[in-house]
Structure 1
Amino acid sequence: MHPTPATHDVIIMGGGLAGLTLALQLKRRFGDIDVLVLERRSHPVPHATHKVGESSVEIGAHYFDTVLGLKQHLDEAQLRKFGFRFFFSEGRRDLDAVTEVGASRPLSIPSYQIDRGIFENHLAEVAAAQGVRFVDNAMVRRMALDPSPQGLHRIEWTESGEPHVAQCRWVVDACGRAGLLKRQLGLVQPNDHQAHAVWFRIGNRLKLDDWGQDPAWRSRCTPAARWLSTNHLVGAGYWVWLIPLASGSHSVGIVADPAFHPLERMDSFDKAMGWLAEHQPVLFDVLDGQRDKLQDFAFMRKFSYGCKQVFSGERWALTGEAGLFLDPFYSPGSDFIAMSNTFICDLIAHDRAGRSVQARAQLYDHIYHSFYDSTLALYQGQYGLFGDPEVLPVKVVWDYTYYWGVLSQLFFHDRLTDVATLGNLREELQHCQQLNIAMQGFLRTWSSQSQRRNAARMLDQAGLPWFAELNASLRDALPDAAAFQARLRQCVAQLRTLAHQIHRQALDEHPGLDDAALAALLAHPMPRTPIDHDAAPMLFERLTQPAAMA
């Protein structure tokens, strides 16, 4: 007779970022939970490991440093990020003579540049110390799901060639793009975002602050550490990322819409360098003498995809890239890991309490997909305006205001699984989603008429008091659900005011713009967030009329 398989509360297939953080979150919430993580790679993984997802933003950073309690590691072993920064440097070598978008000083809420190898090795050590059973060199071979109320799922895998089997109450796929559960259950769902990416690591720091000669430009930021930003070198149809890593390497990526820049022009390191020589010569010049420091190179065609379902009342779930993936612009990957893992933990909590999770899983799946749809609108069809020094800065401020004012408020104030509060705010959340989609279309239309003036100036986000205050508000202590609802409605009013002012300025410059969708939403009455647009504070003017750089 075969021995009875070991039984676990949760089996997580995949011991990368999504799977290990979920295991830690479960152990922090339920000290007695039995979690098995199956990882196909051997550990420890190399530093500067060959993965994207090195730049975190506020939700993901808060998840890592506060929800998971990893702040000491992030402060001591990773790099504090100096926000996002954009340079309209298409075809240019004079980085100090183009429009720059970014903050002159760090804002209140921290985010991090994460060396994935260092971080995932640390996560595995912490998980093991907290009682998670972590098995590397494990290849999942078969899954048999039992959806009955008291059923157990069965997982078969090989560990260094030896067969193993276990059963579990919950199974979570965190195995990345392999999408084991997604493929078995027929959940694959493509989207219409066609962008591709190439990326590589150079074994050296790229000190972007030294790329400009103008002393005024060098002193514009305090501290003078632009290199710690996620730097974007942008042009029509593409953007290039520059991300420093704690191991001393620098990550470089080119992300492009194939309608502008086909993958075949950049799908090897030599081709990518040739493409940079034409489109971003300032970066080519820096890299050309460091070809011997190349550590890896990879490319991916059409990296973005959806998923029909990620949470199930039949006690399975998908998290991270095993479910869906958007775009690396704005670095939302760790945010969506944070949100999906939080939903999964709450579903497991309800199941452990003996409650049905069918309706809740369906609701969370709907909410998560609405976040996905809202965020996809930031990218889909928008790459053409990335080279516009007049419209992209407006888009960046709008996108951040939407992110900090809606999604981040929900996560930081621990309301993501507060079903009653989400129900009370349903009208406002739906309106914000519709407003964002309309604004993205309006920005695209505006860019089609823009003169794309590329003045030597810095658009300083830290110089917008309301913008910095919105970022800092994520740390506010809100005593109860009523206070949170008041906060979110205040953010909705601010977002509507910003939309009204963007709309008005664009029409002042280009009276013939098609504004029907946006105008209709701005005319929509919101009884709980009344706004006198004519009396509203000017949120937008100081961004679009900055003083030129000295």
Structure 2
Amino acid sequence: MNPNLRRHDVVIMGGGLAGLTLALQLKQRFGDIDIVVLERRAHPVPHAAHKVGESSVEIGAHYFDTVLGLKPHMHGAQLRKFGFRFFFSEGRRDIDQVTEIGASRYLSVPSYQIDRGIFENYLAEEATRRGVRFVDNALVRRIDLAEDPREPHRLAWTQDGETHLVHARWLIDACGRAGLLKRKLGLAEPNAHECNAVWFRIGERITIDDWSDNAEWRARCEPQARWLSTNHLVGAGYWVWLIPLASGSHSVGIVADPRLHPIETIDSFDKAMQWFQTWQPRLFDELDGKRHLLQDFAFFRDFSYGCKQVFSGRRWALTGEAGLFLDPFYSPGSDFIAMSNTYIADLIAHDRAGHSVDARAQLYDQIYHSFYESTLALYTDQYSLFGDPEVLPVKVIWDYTYYWGVLSQIFFQQRLTDLALLGSLRDELQHGQRLNFAVQDFLRAWSALSEKRNPAVMLDQAALPWFAELNRSLNDRLDDDAFRIRMRASVEQLRALAGEILVRATGEHPGLDGDALRAVLAEKISIAASPGCTQAPMLFAPG
């Protein structure tokens, strides 16, 4: 018997956001489970850590504050996000004279701006307090996956020059883009979304509220609250993010379609500043005197990718960026961590109960990839319309409605692993997915014809009663019958919204081809009557 050999129920390779939250979720569900987390970096990590993924949306936020019980930390050590906000400010300094998309007040369900350094340090400490063995400065050297399902996986790792051998019943890859299991098993898979990103941190707040002294503009939403949004400065083929961090730093990023804005034009801080001077001059003005406050700079080429498989009945899984990554535009990263971790926890639960997990792992993998494909459609070949003040506001409303009405309802109502219930809604869910694909194609065609008018208005999402109610409805607690009714109503709401989009766009542009969308809307499907709120116009009044 090797005295250095340790046996664990679960070994998690990677002690970042995905790995640590999975460890907490497992420990919360099974008090006696033996978990070790192997993290390459030394802890504690610096605040404003050199990572992307600071902005969360409703699924990820609910996972952190409610599912994992971290609400005191989220409220006390992080920033509550004032939603998404968009400014069509390309080439402009007069931000009060362009179209703005955003809410004038906080909606019901919270989300957060997350300083990843603060959060990951806290998660490591909390995991240790709950009985997880957290090892930093650990490098995984060898992985031997068990061929026999009765045998454990074998792993070798080093710390400070000393080699450790462990056996693990479950092996989880949460090591980010290093993708140890992905590379070992040849699971990497490209997708059709080609995009690049650069980002950096500045050690001072960027208070966008102060970019104008126009009293009317300032009064459009809660006082001095815009800076707490994930602010997007948008143009054709790109968007710029501004995300505040609780440490006092501000995260700035450029995400661009290389066909319109090649990475070579932005892949250093000086190049990015020159780019801002042309495309977003008001931000250039803000940053020009703060160059000495630069904290870091990094870039990713072709950051979006898929994965052939993320869950296996052979008792291994991938979570977070070790598996797949979409696009930061709607901040889905923590959402997909929440979903993959929930699936992994359920697979481990069935295994601990003595059940085979082969079939269940295969079904979870299919469902998870279906969510991935539906979300990927929001981004693929859509960057060209990001600078369109007429079409992007409609796209944002559609995308939110699909997200809050379908995916968020499944997660918030704890139905993610309820295969029977989801199976009873298969036709409705597939119809909603086809609608989403058709609407994304239609929006792109519409933008090719639109006049791209950019009036000085704020399109207030909070002023759409049905939209605010959809957000609030995530807080409801539904039994199975009520959940079925909710999901069918959500699909009918999507049909009503798609119909209104079709009528508006073809009314403005009679030559616009809407046949593909009409065909999906014409499908016969048994769903509930439309909610009463969809009888009124669902979109903003045309500009």
Tell me the TM-score range normalised by the shorter chain. over 0.9
How much does 1:514 deviate? 1.6
**Which residue does the alignment assign to 2:521?**
522
Question: Which residue pairs with 2:536 in the alignment?
Answer: 538
Does the Cα contact within 8 Å between 1:197 and 1:254 map onto a contact in 2? yes
Amino acid at match of 1:512: G
Aligned to 2:82, the other structure's residue is in SS state: coil
Counterpart in 2 of 1:471? 471
Kept in 1, the 8 Å contact 2:489–2:530? The answer is no
Asked if the contact 1:466–1:539 (Cα under 8 Å) also holds between the matched residues in 2, the reply is: no
Within 5 Å, which residues of 2 pair with 1:330-341?
330-341=330-341
- Residues 505-532 of structure 1, C-alpha deviations (whole Å, 9 max, x = no match): 1111111112122110001112223559
Does 2:293 match 1:296?
A: no
- Give the whole-Å Cα distance in 2 for the aligned partners of 1:539 and 1:337: 35
Q: Could you say what secondary structure the match of 1:524 adopts?
A: coil
Q: Spell out the pairing of 1:9-408 with structure 2 (5 A cutoff).
A: 9-408=9-408
Is the 2:174–2:321 contact (alpha carbons within 8 Å) kept by the matching residues of 1? yes
The superposition leaves residues 303-353 of structure 1 with CA deviations (integer Å, 9 ceiling, x where unpaired) of 000000000000000000000000000000000000000000000000000
Q: Partner letter of residue 115 of structure 1?
A: D
| Other structure's SS at 1:18 match | helix
Alignment of 1:422-441 (within 5 A): 422-441=422-441
Number of residue pairs matched by the alignment: 543
User: 5+ residue gaps in structure 1?
Assistant: none
Report the Cα distance in structure 2 between the residues aligned to 1:532 and 1:430, rounded to whole angstroms: 20
> SS at the partner of 1:343?
helix
Which amino acid in structure 1 is aligned with residue 425 of structure 2? L
What CA distance in whole angstroms lies between the structure 2 residues aligned with 1:510 and 1:135? 60
Distance across 2 between alignment mates of 1:70 and 1:531:
37
Matched residues in 1 for 2:376 and 2:228: separation?
26
State the match for 1:492 in structure 2. Answer: 491
Q: Deviations over 1:346-399 (max 9, x none)?
A: 000000000010000000000000000000000000000000000000000000
What RMSD, in angstroms, separates the aligned Cα atoms of the two structures?
1.3
- The unaligned stretches of length 5 or more in structure 2 are none
Return the alpha-carbon distance in structure 1 between the equivalents of residues 517 and 531 of structure 2.
17
For residues 510 and 179 of structure 2, the distance between their equivalents in structure 1, rounded to whole angstroms, comes to 48
User: Secondary structure in 1 aligned to 2:283?
Assistant: helix
**Partner AA of 1:417 in structure 2:** T
**1:482 offset after TM fit, Å?**
1.2
Q: Deviations over 1:200-246 (max 9, x none)?
A: 00000001000012101011111431000000000000000000000
Write the letter of the residue equivalent to 1:510.
Answer: H
Shift of 1:149: 2.7
Three-state SS of the structure 2 residue aligned to 1:172 is strand
Check whether the contact 1:147–1:315 (CA below 8 A) recurs between aligned residues.
no
Rounded to whole Å, the distance in 2 between the matches of 1:131 and 1:258 is 46
Which residue is equivalent to 1:421? 421
Q: Which one-letter code corresponds to 1:524 in the other structure?
A: E
Cα distance change on mapping 1:164 and 1:483 into 2, 3 Å: same
CA deviations 1:140-199 (Å, max 9, x no partner) are 011101142321000101112211110011000000000000000010101121100000
Q: Distance in 1 between matches of 2:530 and 2:2?
A: 70
Checking the alignment, whether the CA contact within 8 Å between 2:101 and 2:458 is kept in structure 1 is yes
> Contact (CA 8 Å) 1:200, 1:253: kept in 2 or not?
yes
Whether contact under 8 Å (1:137, 1:159) holds in the other structure is yes
- Whether the 8 Å contact between 1:13 and 1:173 is mirrored in structure 2 is yes
Contact 1:102 1:458 in 2 (8 A): yes
Alpha-carbon distance in structure 1 between the residues aligned to 2:243 and 2:418: 35
Whole-angstrom distance in 2 between the partners of 1:493 and 1:272: 44
Report the 3-state secondary structure (helix = DSSP H, G, I; strand = E; otherwise coil) of the residue aligned with 2:535.
Answer: coil
Q: Conserved in 2, the CA contact under 8 Å of 1:502 and 1:540?
A: no
Partner Cα separation in structure 2 for residue 175 and residue 296 of structure 1: 21
**SS of residue paired to 2:146:** coil
SS at match of 1:471: helix
Instruction: Give the match's secondary structure for 1:205.
Output: coil
Whether the 8 Å contact between 2:4 and 2:165 is mirrored in structure 1 is: no
Cα distance in 1 for residues equivalent to 2:140 and 2:86: 42
SS of equivalent to 1:36: strand
Contact between 2:466 and 2:538, CA under 8 Å: does it hold in 1? no
Query: Letter of the aligned partner of 1:544 in structure 2?
Result: A
Alpha-carbon distance in structure 2 between the residues aligned to 1:400 and 1:186: 34
Which SS does the other structure have where 2:337 is aligned?
helix
* CA distance in structure 2 between the partners assigned to 1:306 and 1:127 by the alignment: 29
Q: Secondary structure at the match of 1:27?
A: helix
State the alpha-carbon separation in 2 of the partners of residues 143 and 347 from structure 1.
Answer: 21
Corresponding residue of 2:410: 410
For 1:538 and 1:196, how far apart are their aligned partners in 2?
40
CA–CA distance in structure 2, aligned partners of residues 89 and 526 of structure 1: 42
Deviation at 1:454, TM superposition (A): 0.2
Residues in 1 aligned to 2:224 and 2:292: alpha-carbon distance in whole angstroms: 28
Of 223-232 and 125-134, the range deviating more from structure 2: 223-232
> Do 1:343 and 1:364's aligned partners in 2 also have CA atoms closer than 8 Å?
yes
Distance across 2 between alignment mates of 1:120 and 1:536: 42
Describe the SS at the equivalent of 1:170: strand
Q: Distance in 2 between matches of 1:261 and 1:198?
A: 12
Match of 1:361, SS state, is helix
What is the one-letter code of the residue matched to 1:285? D
Residues 48 and 118 of structure 1 are in contact (CA less than 8 Å); yes or no, is this contact kept in structure 2?
yes
Distance 1:455 1:206 in 2: 25
TM-score (norm 1): 0.97
Identity %: 71
